[in-house]
Structure 1
Amino acid sequence: VAATRGRIYSALDVSEEGFYQKMIESLRNPQPPKIVKDAPVMEVEEKPRLSKIPILTHYEKDAGPYITSAVVSARDPEGKVENVSVHRLLLLDDSHLAIRLVPRHLYKLWRMAKEKRTDLDVGISIGVHPAVMLAAASSPPFGVSEYGVANALLKGELALIRCEKVDAYVPAEAELVLEGRISHREEVPEGPLVDMTGTYDAERLQPVVEIVNVMHREDYMYQALLPGGPEHRLLMGLPREVAVYEAVSKVVPKVKAVNLSEGGCGWLHAVISLEKQTEGDAKNAIMAAFGAHGSLKHVVAVDTDIDVYNPLEVEWALATRFQGDRDLIVIRNARGSTLDPSADQESGLTTKLGFDATKPLTKPSKGFEKAEIPSTPNAELIVEELKRHIRDVR
């Protein structure tokens, strides 16, 4: 559904160049979605029998079948603050799941309910528009509903329904909805599961979700994200690219592109192409990137003539424009990502590196320019004809 950047841009009706601004505007100006009373997801309502859902075991050593595309919505006990976020859910039995709660906004709501000794109502949506997934992964300030961000991305076209049995709202166009409550008392071992790095995440004690009602379309389609696959990495990583783009734009004159690279698991490495006016701009950009996305481990800054999506060009910039004694930033004992198996798993600390692979302004630029072979219209026609013949042979 959303395994390429092009598909995501198409779903949002934006160009590659307009994506960052569209996300930033939607985060700054969320629009409350409309509430409706009838929806496709309400076609069938039934008691929980989770074994009927094709929940997959994706890898050999996974703890069990996992829902990997769940968008979970919840409100604080007073109903004033709403959070919508993406979570993995381990199947326990026909009416119970274990939910992985990272210490972010849903965790905060759960702690608020726990302090009141009450369970937390949740609506679990599967099969939603990519805009909802992106918004749910975008982490706006606590108190801002991600549904409002999604609605802004969709130009006011997002509709929600209120769940039948719990105090939560879900997208009217979802394929499948599980209504449940996160227990304030019961926790069980959860994990391992392959995460964005393609390695197994650790086992932890996590809360149990009791499912009390199920709604779905008559012939619903179950969406599963392959853990560590392109769709997983893009849907989680693109909102972080936006955060990095916005932060870096505040400290340098122009940011052309940001790429949380495939080789960096779409999470741990960033390549930023920028236009600098003074020496030090690239280093400021690197520091801003680390501040915007705390999980970043390595950041490479390059000039605008480098394609951030082409690892050969990025490596070429490192080979020809980088010197370790002057262009390397080393930050020891910084907070890193629990997804990085090489980080200290007890303290969460890691060493972060920044690589300034931009051309030095103090030296003649000619020595750093990429040589190009001049072309003519006739030569370009010959090249295109050769390419066509090569495709025909294949």
Structure 2
Amino acid sequence: MTTLRKFLKEMDEKGEILAIKEKFSPRFQIPAVIQKFDGGPVLLFKKVRGYKTRVVANVCGTRERLCFALETNVENLYSRLFEAWEKPVEPKIVDDAPVKEVTEKPNLGRIPVLTHFEKDAGAYITSAVISARSPDGEIENVSIHRLQVLDETRLAIRLVPRHLFKLWNLAKQENTDLDVAISIGVHPAVMLAASSPLPFGTSEFAVANTLLNNELRLVKCRYVDAYAVADAEIVLEGRISTREQTLEGPLVDITGTYDIQRSQPIVEVVSVMHREDYLYQALLPSGSEHKLLMGLPREALIWRSVANVVPVVKAVNLSVGGCGWLHAFISIEKQTEGDAKNAILAAFSAHPSLKHVIVVDSDINVYDSNEVEWAVATRFQADKDLVIIRNVRGSTLDPSADQKNGLTTKMGIDATKPLAEHKEKFEKARIPLDKETENFLQGFKA
């Protein structure tokens, strides 16, 4: 199960693929259907208006599906990520590969790239795994970036000031463009690795290879100095210009609001290789896939950071209502007063984009926002349990923050039971359930 196709076969056998036979357009229609089934089954659009290529979406749309892809469970998910981050293994390089079945001159108009929301600047590739190397070939970065289609051969790339941006600057210092391979249609492990906050110099391909039990294969591109996923559906070979830029955006981001326009580099696509009957993998901005791929690796970092200051961390959830990015619900086994406030500060340290943190006791399910809100209602007092941090770095994706300099105000809520009080007064009342009633209720639900 190391390729997207093998993963989809497994999903089909589990009954988790909804095949859509109606013909829909990639402009607004397919995105509307994806949004309707957000967080649900994998969607396979068998007929796309104006194109011969099928579209697949919602591949990484649930936490459970990502766990299945990594051959783990929710309880061991973070440990699985930590192991791969700390023990990356370089993947095999092969000469021949399924993605090389067809090699052709670029014509981005032949790819069913989606236009998602009404005010988007145009069609955007949103599931692109982009790999690049430093000019000396010593450092490789693999990351996901949005790509705005400008014409048949050019894209605009949003370069946030992280590792790919650093490689681009290194190329700029050498007075050369940055070669990139853009792999689309890959296994969820590759997507998750490409979303991971790794040290500069660690190849995300090596992390993905560890997650895939040393079965990831790469292929060297023909026209650019970069490596691509050998079993991808389609690969664009290109160069990020260090001289030419254009206005990029707007596009809806993880918050469900429009990100601001910026001057961004242009990617010149020089060649395309793909499977004979390739699938185009779509990802809806602000959907469950977007939130999970961005948020899960940060949840792991928060869990580790909080575990350094609190004896027992039960669970961490970057909540859906908090855009999978700005709000964290954390459950702990509280030992002493102050544990929750230490957990709040540790969470902010681990994930600088975090805006609000709510810490609850281990009897609260952090994946149920109603339970978290109940804990705030019954266990929190604002004069004692509120933490406010003003004028600190936050997320530029937050429309209420200063999006130019990234400053925001952060809030932490200690919604844990005070240890000095009788714990019974904070426990939710329960109705005793005998076997007869339990059997009746289970049959009724069925």
Residue 276 of structure 1 and its aligned partner are, at CA, apart by 1.9
Match of 1:349 among 407, 410, 431: 407
Instruction: State the TM-score, normalized to the length of structure 1.
Output: 0.97
What whole-Å deviation, never above 9, does each CA across 1:28-57 have from its counterpart, x for those lacking one?
Answer: 111111111111111111111111001111
SS in structure 1 at match of 2:67: helix
Contact preservation (8 Å) 1:198, 1:228: yes
What is residue 234 of structure 1 aligned with on the other side? 292
The answer to whether the 8 Å contact 2:115/2:123 transfers is yes
Match of 2:25? none
| Alpha-carbon distance, 1:254 to partner | 1.1
SS in 1 for 2:196: coil
Partner SS, residue 17 of structure 1: helix
- Once the two structures are TM-superposed, the CA of residue 79 in structure 1 deviates from its matched residue by 0.5
Show the counterpart of 2:65: 7
Q: Which residue identity lines up with residue 74 of structure 1 in the other structure? A: A
Check the 8 A contact 2:396/2:404 in 1, yes or no.
no
In the alignment, what sits opposite 1:379? 437
**Secondary structure of 1:313's match?**
helix
Write the distance in 2 (CA, Å) between the matches of 1:331 and 1:229. 29
Indicate the residue corresponding to 2:388 in structure 1.
330
Partner of 2:278: 220
SS in 2 for 1:69: coil
| Alignment counterpart, residue 156 of structure 2, candidates 98, 102, 109 | 98
Within 5 Å, give how 1:131-170 maps onto structure 2: 131-170=189-228
Partner residue of 1:193?
251
- The code of the aligned residue for 1:244 comes to I
Distance 1:198 1:155 in 2: 35
SS of alignment partner, residue 343 of structure 1: coil
How far did 1:173 drift? Answer: 1.1
- What residue ranges of structure 1 are gaps of 5+ in the alignment? 389-394
Give the distance between the partners of 1:345 and 1:143, measured in 2 at CA: 29
In the TM superposition, what is the alpha-carbon distance from 1:96 to its structure 2 partner?
A: 0.6
1:24·1:246 contact (CA, 8 Å) conserved in 2?
A: no
Q: Distance in 2 between matches of 1:362 and 1:115?
A: 61
Which residue of structure 2 lines up, in the alignment, with residue 363 of structure 1?
421
Counterpart Cα distance in 2 of 1:253 and 1:171: 41
Report the Cα distance in structure 2 between the residues aligned to 1:35 and 1:288, rounded to whole angstroms: 40
CA shift, 1:385, in A, is 2.1
Alpha carbons 2:330, 2:366 under 8 Å: kept: yes
Q: Does 1:210 align with 2:268?
A: yes
Stretch moving more, 371-380 or 307-316: 371-380
Mapped partners of 2:436, 2:90: distance in 1? 56
Q: Give aligned pairs, total.
A: 388
AA aligned to 1:80 is: E
Where 1:93 maps in the other structure, the secondary structure is: coil
AA at the equivalent of 2:175: R
- Range with greater deviation from structure 2 (266-275 or 365-374): 365-374
> Where do 5+ consecutive residues of structure 2 fail to align?
1-58
The CA RMSD over aligned residues, in Å, is 0.8
Contact 2:397 2:403 in 1 (8 A): no
What's the TM-score once normalised by structure 2's chain length?
0.86
Structure 1 position 84 matched with structure 2 position 139: no
**Cα pair 2:139 2:203 within 8 Å, conserved:** yes
Q: Is residue 2:197 matched to residue 1:113?
A: no
Q: Is the contact made by 2:107 and 2:152 (CA closer than 8 Å) also made in structure 1?
A: yes
Q: Distance in 2 between matches of 1:157 and 1:320?
A: 50
Rounded to whole Å, the distance in 1 between the matches of 2:153 and 2:112 is 14
Identity %: 66
Q: State the match for 1:255 in structure 2.
A: 313
Match of 1:40 among 98, 104, 127: 98
State the SS of the aligned residue for 2:378. helix
For residues 314-342 of structure 1, the C-alpha deviation after alignment (integer angstroms, 9 at most, x for no partner) is: 00000011111111100000101111000
Cα deviation, residue 166, structure 1: 0.7
- Is the contact between residue 106 and residue 271 of structure 2 (CA under 8 Å) also seen in structure 1? yes
The amino acid across from 1:238 in the alignment is L
Alpha-carbon distance in structure 2 between the residues aligned to 1:347 and 1:95: 33
> Secondary structure of 1:344's match?
coil
